[in-house]
Amino acid sequence: MFIIESWREEKQSAWLYRAVAEAEPDIRKSMLFTTLADAAESQGAAVGAAYP
């Protein structure tokens, strides 16, 4: 169950980072949150790949 929870947390983080990026008027901060979202997506994919 731990792997599924980790995957879900990463996907949720990515979604939240993207929402913040869209709402952020400062382009530099928006890009930072987009980068964080991409990293969370990558981490979620890695966790998902570990699930049999």
Could you tell me the residue ranges of all domains in the chain?
2-50
Q: Rounded to whole angstroms, how far apart are CA atoms 37 and 49?
A: 18
The confidence score (pLDDT) of residue 9 equals 96
The confidence score (pLDDT) of residue 41 equals 97
Within 8 A by CB and 6+ apart from 38, the residues are: 14
Average pLDDT by stretches of 10, the chain with 52 residues: 89 98 98 98 92 73
The confidence score (pLDDT) of residue 2 equals 87
Residue 30 near residue 21, CB atoms below 8 Å? yes
CA-angle at 4, arms to 47 and 15, nearest 5°: 75
